[in-house]
Amino acid sequence: MSKILILGGAGFVGSNLAFYLKEKEFDVTVVDNLVRRGSENNLKLFKQKNIKFIHGDIRNVEDFNNFPVSDIVLLTAAQPSAINYTNPVFDITNNTSGVLNVLEWVRNNNSKLIFWSTNKTYSGNICNQIPMEINDSRYIWSDSNFKLLGWDINNGFNEDLSVDGKDHSIYGLSKINADLMIQEWSDAFNIESIINRFSCLSGPNQWGKAEQGWVAWFALAKKLGLPVTVYGYGGNQVRDCLFTPDINILIHKQINHLLSSSDNKCYGEVFNVGGGIDNTISVNEVIKKLEINNVILDNNCRRADQAIYISDITKVKNFFEWNPSITFDVGLQSINTWIDNNIEVLEKLYI
């Protein structure tokens, strides 16, 4: 039985993967510092499903002494907010220095690694230079003749897009530091690893808030009668959304690839991952779907916000024979069902 270590495993992505991979008969251990609101609610479920839990923090080298040697490490641990500028050291210690500790542990224990990177590795300045216009309730790219390496109008942004430039956010900077560090360590020390630059991830068990997990946050705000603040762009900004079942299936395929004896090995291979061009939605369109009336419009754009970000998922689809299957409406319904089933706990956390 292959051993999987999920760092940050009590959070949204990590916990969903822990339950999914346990059902697939992997030996799963979860590590988390339980800083994120709501993550502690997964501990009882971990115990019920015989998933081992270790309270630990990747920033603390001593904590690694308690981690079991594992075949695959899923590195989901991070400070995930892209609007944190008040304490940049916090982002760097969590998302860069902590990753260095993980890399050294992986190297010394001959483990393989899957890393959660982000679309924020790409500069807002670069992404926003593409000509665009407003069409109904969203921005659309308006010039098919515009040329930019790493982008085309029919598919979005691919892995050739430059990671140079300003306007990444401190979060994005901390993640691109880690992203490049993993690529270097993988090449220098023969560490098999995969880097997924994820766009908008959502689904049940996401304790959303305005700065991270916005789809779940909007659904929660609607259900609990809380106001929603829209920051800049008039709510016309667009993202491609990927939901929990499709995330789980992809990571399972990537785990199997790393565990296989295939000659097509990954040493810091980078993939842009999201719902792709067929699964896009704007902030305004989500507000309309949820019939949210209590909306506060802040005309100030948040730093490093990309007006349109759509992942070109051609590479990851072809490499892993994977394709997203969950539509936005189906994904949103799964979030609403989860909210209904956990309303008392959510009311205590949010009201």
pLDDT tens for residues 144-192?
A: 999 999 999 999 999 999 999 999 999 999 999 999 999 999 999 999 9
Query: Domain of 110?
Result: 3-350
pTM exceeds 0.85: yes
How far the first Cα of the chain sits from its last, in Å, is 43
Residues of the chain predicted below pLDDT 50: none
Please say whether the beta carbons of 121 and 168 come within 8 A.
yes
Helix locations, 110-243, DSSP H = 124-127, 169-189, 214-224
Q: Provide the pLDDT for residue 38.
A: 79
Q: Number of folded domains in the chain?
A: 1
Q: Provide the pLDDT for residue 143.
A: 98
| Integer Cα distance of 21 and 5 in angstroms | 11
Which CATH number do you get for residue 23? 3.40.50.720
Q: What are phi and psi of 267, to 5 degrees?
A: -120, 85
Residue type (1 letter), 156: G
Strand (E) or helix (H) holding 228: strand 228-231
Count of H-run helices and E-run strands, the chain = 12, 17
Q: Provide the pLDDT for residue 351.
A: 86
| Integer Cα distance of 81 and 77 in angstroms | 12
Q: What's the pLDDT tens digit per position in 316-344? A: 999 999 999 999 999 999 999 999 999 99
Strand (E) or helix (H) holding 266: none
Cα Rg, the chain, nearest whole Å: 19
Please say whether the beta carbons of 258 and 225 come within 8 A.
no
